[in-house]
Structure 1
Amino acid sequence: MSSALHEPLDIRVVRKIYPASGDREAQPVLKDIAIKIEPRSFVVLTGPSGCGKSTLLNIIAGLDSEYEGDIGLGGPETRVGYIFQSPRLLPWRTVRQNIELALPDGDPKHAQIDEILAQVGLEGFGSQYPERLSLGMQRRAALARGFITEPDVLLMDEPFVSLDDPTAEGLRELLIALWNRRPTTVIFVTHDRTEAVMLGTRILRMSAANATIVSDDTVSLSTSERTDKDKVRAEQNRIFHET
């Protein structure tokens, strides 16, 4: 583990604008974002669709450099992982080979692949190709690939979107268990309020337009309470002021 795990993340986006193009005027997306994130916390970004959650995640990941501000992730040795909405598994490679691609040749973590496949419920599926797996199983494989590198920061952009409720709920429970076994700093994007409360230790809500952070709440649920639907619903009511 790198020393970055012991340092808070310092995220500051003064302004992000999509420039004018053709007949389209310049579009302000983000403004006055200032977040400090403690190591090994699970922070959820939530807000209306199109408010800039994924844009902010891409800025944190270093995939978008066209903004005003500064992203402090603890230093150049910080390992950053990214799990996207799509599992992004290469169809011509097996599940095991897809996970191996995340690791350098000779990395001792290659020996942990069978272990993490078992942890995500894919024991015995390492030799299968993605097309033979359900979408839920593909997303389990993406979780395994995201955690096998032991990243200091793991970014997750709505990784359970478009799944049926039982499959999504099962994957949330799996993610909680996996994060407890392999703690890392997670920044997770979702528009699902139940998912936000079930997973997050802290929830940051973004406004709808020219987005900024409008609320910052700590989730008070214990690990065991996060699978209790009544307790999750009560906490959701408290944080989001639902009745």
Structure 2
Amino acid sequence: MYKSKLDYRSSHIDPKTVENYENSVYGKHSSYSRIWELEKGILLDIFKKNNLSNNEITYLDFACGTGRVISFLEDKVARATGIDVSQNMINLAKPKVHRSKFIVGDLITNGSLLQQQYNLITAFRFFLNAQPILREQAMEVLARKLASRGLLIFNIHGNTLSYRFPIVMLYRLFGKRLQQMTYFQARNLAIRNGLKISDYYGTGYIPKFLYPLFPHSFIAAFEKLISKTFLKFFCLDMIFVCEKDDK
């Protein structure tokens, strides 16, 4: 994806863009839908490792989009809320859930949309695409909405030091940029806003165009093996687990 000069918040308002996101980007056999299957396994690992109990968790899915993440997690939490600026996105999300609440609005400019704090917040496919100032604003708001001892889980789905690195360099030669972030850029974004990284996961080591050549079981086993080594810092999709730094 090219670096956008526009505010990312306006990028998924148009119905055609939303339709493409739902049916192409996350279509049944798309590469991102395969990565999502891997991400689901990581989310389950996070729940297990942190002993998250569904009768205790108040959950917010920030920039929830078409409901991919919230529909997967809603049965694992006590109460689930999704918020997004796009009514068209929310319209596609609603049929996928049975007890989640949705809010259409901009939490960054109107923090009063959500009065409470949450002990679990997710933000997937947002921070990479957002312009730098929006990243800072969003992380600051989410840090305020995170309860003490709560967890914020966010991802960066374009690691600079993944297999995309040669493409990133090639684009730069022609004066263009792919949206990309390093591990340290993402980590420091959290730290600047009063959070600390309590855990880190990586997935997406196999180039996306190779996914159709292998069964999902092979990809999942390979990815899990690689993620236990130092190579986890060279994945495409970085997943950070954060908590408040109460020092």
TM-score range, shorter chain: 0.3 to 0.5
**Under a length normalisation based on structure 1, what TM-score does the superposition of the two structures give?**
0.36
Q: Max radius of gyration: which structure?
A: 1
Larger % of helix: which? 2
